[in-house]
Amino acid sequence: MAYPQTTFPHTHFSSPSFISRRRDVVYSTTLLYQLNVLKSTGRYDAFKLKWHPSYHDKPDVWPVPNHLFWDSDVAKWIEGACYFLQREENPHIDVAVRELVAMIRSAQQTDGYLNIHFTVVEPSKRFTNLRDLHELYNAGHLIEAALAHSQCYGDDSLMEPILKYVDLLCLTFGPTPEQKHGYPGHPEIELALLRLYAKNKNPKHLALAEYFIAERGNPTGQDGRHYYDVEAEARGDREHERPVYYPKSRSYCYQQAHEPIVEQQTIEGHAVRAMYLLTAVADLRLWKNMTEKKMYLTGGIGAQKQWEGFGIDYFLPSGTDEGGCYAETCAAIGVMMLAERLLQLDLDGKYADIMELCFYNAVMTGMASNGKQFTYINQLASSDSDLSRRAEWFTCACCPPNVTRLLGYIGGYLWSFRTDENEKSAAVDIHMYSSATLSIPVGDSVVEIEQSSNWPWEGKIEFAIRNPAEVATTIKLRIPGWAATWQISPDLPNAQPDKGYISLPPDWLNAHPNFHLEIPLLPRFISPHPYTNQNIVALARGPIVYCVEDVDNPWVDDHFKNLLLDPSCSVTERTMSTSTSEVGESYIGLTAHNAASHLLGDSGQLAPHVPFNSSPRVQQPGIEQLYFIPYALRDNRGGKGHMRVGIRRKQ
C-alpha cells in the first residue's frame, strides 16, 4: 500500500480552495511561528544536549517530564517543513532544517542511542519505563522526520543516524531471551517502522514493527508476566502508585495493552495512542465500534479528560459541564490516518466520509485562521470553565506540529492511485474534493487529473483529464453518504455508487475528458445516536458541521445551554465574505429562522422531580434568527467564547 506521506508530491493544489488557503497560511506563517516557539522554549537547541532550566520542573502529569516530548516536537516540525519545502523553497526554513539535522546527528550516542531526556537528564534510566515515558514514541517521530527529510533533500543526513538508532532498537527489543519483550506505551514507532520498511525493504524493520504490535498486551510476555508489571517492579514502583491518567492500578487499556490487539473487542483508552496503533494494524472491528459508538458529530474522539480517551459506548457529552468532551486534535488526525489505511484495504465511502468529516471539523478547528493559535481539546460546547478559545502553544505540544505536517501532505489524502506499466493502465480513487491536479507517471507518459471546485462551500466539481491515448484510466468518484442527490455531466449511463464510489470507465473518460460532478450542498439537521442521551440537533452542510457562537448571537449568556431548536424550521444560507468574516475565507453561514427559544428555568420546588407538562416549557418570545458558522471557524473573531454544536431539541 502506498502512503499519503509518499504520494502527496503527485498532487499540486491549484486555484484557491479551503485546503490550499490553509496550506498557504501554514507555509507563510505557521511553520515560522512554530519555529520561533521551538527556539524560544528551548526545544530547538535541545539536541545540543545541554541542560535546560525547565528540566528541573515538576511534571504537570507525573511521571512524565514536561520536556519528554521535545524530540517529537522537533521531529514533527522537520517532517512538516520537509513536506512544504517540496512544494516551494524557503531559505529560512531550509536553514533551520539543516541546523536541526546537524544537532540531531551530533546528539547520537556511540551505540546509536538518540533521545534528549535519557541522555541529558536520566541517562541511567533508558528503556526502564516504556509504559509512560515516550522513548519509543519519540523514536517513531524521528523515523518519520527522516523519511520526509530524505524524500525532500534526497540525502541521508538525517536517515543515517536514525537507521543507526533503529538498529539499536532492533537489538534491544524482540523475542529472544536476551532482548526486552517490551513495546511502547504510546504507539507511533510501529507505523513509522512500517513506512520505513516500505521504503527500504529491510526485513528487520518489518519484524520489529510486527513484534511491537503482536507483543502488545501479552499477559505473560516477560518472565511469565505482563511486561509493564515486570518493568514497574524493576523500577521499584508500588502496587498502588499510579499516574493520574490511570483510573485504577494496571489500567493498561490506557495504552491499549490490556490484552493483545486481536482480542480487543471495543476501542478503549487514550485516543491518540489507539489511532496510531490502529493505523499500523488497520483494524476494522474497532473502527466500527469507534465510529458508531464513540465518535462525536464533528468526528472528534475521546470523551474522558483523565485518560484523554474513550468513555463507555455512547458516552459523548458535549462539554465539561455535562461530563466531559476531549476530542483532541491529534486524535482526529489519527482517525484520518486510520481511515486512509482502511480505504486502501477496502474502498468504501464510509471511511472517506469519516476522513473528510474529521478533516473539515475535528482537525481544522484545531488551528486559527491566522495560523498562530491552536487547540488541543475540542469540545462541542463551551462552559464557563472551558471557553471556546485557542492557545498560542502548549507544554505538551503534540497538536500544533501535527496539524502542520498533516497539511503538508494532505494532497496524499485527496486520492489514491495505482498504475500498471505493462498494461498501461491507471486507476484513481478520488476521496476528497478540492482544486488540485494529480500527475501520475505511467511508463513514459503522465496522466493528469485536474479537479476544480470551491469545495466545501460549493458542490460543483469540474474535472479535466489529460490522458495519453495509450493509457487506460479508470476513475472512481466518491459520492458522500450524506448526499441526497448528485449528478454527473455529461450523463454517465446506469451510474450507481458501489460502496460510495461511482466508477468512470476508460471509454467514458476518453469520450468525456471534461466533465463535472454536482453534489447539492443543502443544510441538514443531524443528531447523535439516541443512546448518547443527547437530545440535540446540529446543522451540517456537506462535510461541514456548524456551531453557534456568541459573536453572531450576542444575546447569549449561558453557552446556549438553555437554547431549544425546532428542527422543522427553515434554514437559509448566507455567504460571508472575507472582508466581513475575518476568518481568511469566504464561507457559507447558516441562519435558522424563528426556530429557537429558551428553556424555562425550573424553580426546583419539586426537585429532584420536574413535573411533566405537556406544553413546552419555553420562554416567549423566541429568537427570530439564530446564526450558525462552521465549527472549524469558531473563535476567529473575538467574542466571549460561548459556542455550541448540538442544540437541545425542542419537543
Q: Residue 632 CB, nearest distance to a second copy (Å)?
A: 16
What single-letter DSSP state applies at residue 577? P
CB 147, CB 155: distance < 8 Å: no
* Nearer CB in complex with a second copy: 313/552: 313
Interacting residue ranges for a second copy, rule: CB under 8 A? 62-63, 238-244, 247-249, 288, 291-292, 295-297, 299, 306, 311-315, 317, 321-323, 350, 353, 357, 481-482, 524-531, 533-535, 537, 540, 561, 567-568, 599, 602, 604-612, 614, 648-649, 651
Please tell me the distance from the alpha carbon of residue 134 to that of residue 584, in angstroms, as a whole number: 37
Q: Residue 91 CB, nearest distance to a second copy (Å)?
A: 44
Please tell me the distance from the alpha carbon of residue 288 to that of residue 466, in angstroms, as a whole number: 38
Please tell me the distance from the alpha carbon of residue 70 to that of residue 47, in angstroms, as a whole number: 9
Integer angstrom CA distances of residue 272 from 152, 256, 269: 27, 11, 9
The strand pair at 472-478 and 425-430 is best described as: parallel
The strand pair at 563-565 and 501-504 is best described as: unpaired
* Nearer CB in complex with a second copy: 315/627: 315
Q: Which three cell numbers stand for residue 213?
A: 504490535
* Nearer CB in complex with a second copy: 193/537: 537
Q: Which three cell numbers stand for residue 358?
A: 474529521
CB 175, CB 211: distance < 8 Å: yes
* Nearer CB in complex with a second copy: 332/509: 332
* Nearer CB in complex with a second copy: 202/527: 527
Q: Residue 275 CB, nearest distance to a second copy (Å)?
A: 15
Q: Residue 617 CB, nearest distance to a second copy (Å)?
A: 8
Give the residue among 117, 145, 48 at the shortest CA–CA distance from 404.
Answer: 145
- Label each residue of 285-311 as H, E or C: HHHHHHHHHCECCCCCECCECCCCECC
Cell 534491544, residue located: 172
* Nearer CB in complex with a second copy: 296/508: 296
Q: Residue 163 CB, nearest distance to a second copy (Å)?
A: 38
**Bridge partners of residue 13, in order along the sequence:** 436
Please tell me the distance from the alpha carbon of residue 77 to that of residue 88, in angstroms, as a whole number: 16
Q: Residue 266 CB, nearest distance to a second copy (Å)?
A: 12
Q: Residue 618 CB, nearest distance to a second copy (Å)?
A: 11
Q: Which three cell numbers stand for residue 538?
A: 446540529
* Nearer CB in complex with a second copy: 604/621: 604
Q: Residue 224 CB, nearest distance to a second copy (Å)?
A: 20
* Nearer CB in complex with a second copy: 298/373: 298
Q: Residue 610 CB, nearest distance to a second copy (Å)?
A: 5
Cα 587 to chain centroid distance, Å, stands at 22
Q: Residue 63 CB, nearest distance to a second copy (Å)?
A: 7
* Phi, psi angle pair for 518, to nearest 5°: -125, 120
Cell 440537533, residue located: 537
Q: Residue 331 CB, nearest distance to a second copy (Å)?
A: 14
Own/partner long-range contacts of 111-116 (Cβ < 8 Å, ≥24 apart) = 111/168, 112/161, 112/164, 112/165, 112/167, 112/168, 113/165, 113/168, 114/139, 114/142, 114/161, 114/162, 114/165, 115/71, 115/139, 116/46, 116/47, 116/49, 116/67, 116/70, 116/71
* Nearer CB in complex with a second copy: 134/561: 561
Q: Residue 481 CB, nearest distance to a second copy (Å)?
A: 5
Please tell me the distance from the alpha carbon of residue 119 to that of residue 456, in angstroms, as a whole number: 47
* Nearer CB in complex with a second copy: 423/602: 602
Please tell me the distance from the alpha carbon of residue 425 to that of residue 442, in angstroms, as a whole number: 7
* Nearer CB in complex with a second copy: 358/449: 358
* Nearer CB in complex with a second copy: 428/519: 519
Q: Residue 229 CB, nearest distance to a second copy (Å)?
A: 16
* Nearer CB in complex with a second copy: 190/229: 229
CB 113, CB 165: distance < 8 Å: yes
Q: Residue 431 CB, nearest distance to a second copy (Å)?
A: 17
Q: Residue 345 CB, nearest distance to a second copy (Å)?
A: 19
Give the residue among 266, 377, 314 at the shortest CA–CA distance from 528.
Answer: 314
Give, rounded to a whole angstrom, the gap between the first and last alpha carbons of the chain. 49
* Nearer CB in complex with a second copy: 102/526: 526
What single-letter DSSP state applies at residue 374? B
**Bridge partners of residue 414, in order along the sequence:** none
* Nearer CB in complex with a second copy: 312/345: 312
* Nearer CB in complex with a second copy: 220/531: 531
509's enclosing H/E stretch is helix 506-511
Q: Residue 270 CB, nearest distance to a second copy (Å)?
A: 16
Local structure of 461: helix, strand or coil:
strand
CB 349, CB 480: distance < 8 Å: yes
Integer angstrom CA distances of residue 553 from 230, 556, 592, 624: 56, 6, 12, 11
What single-letter DSSP state applies at residue 224? T
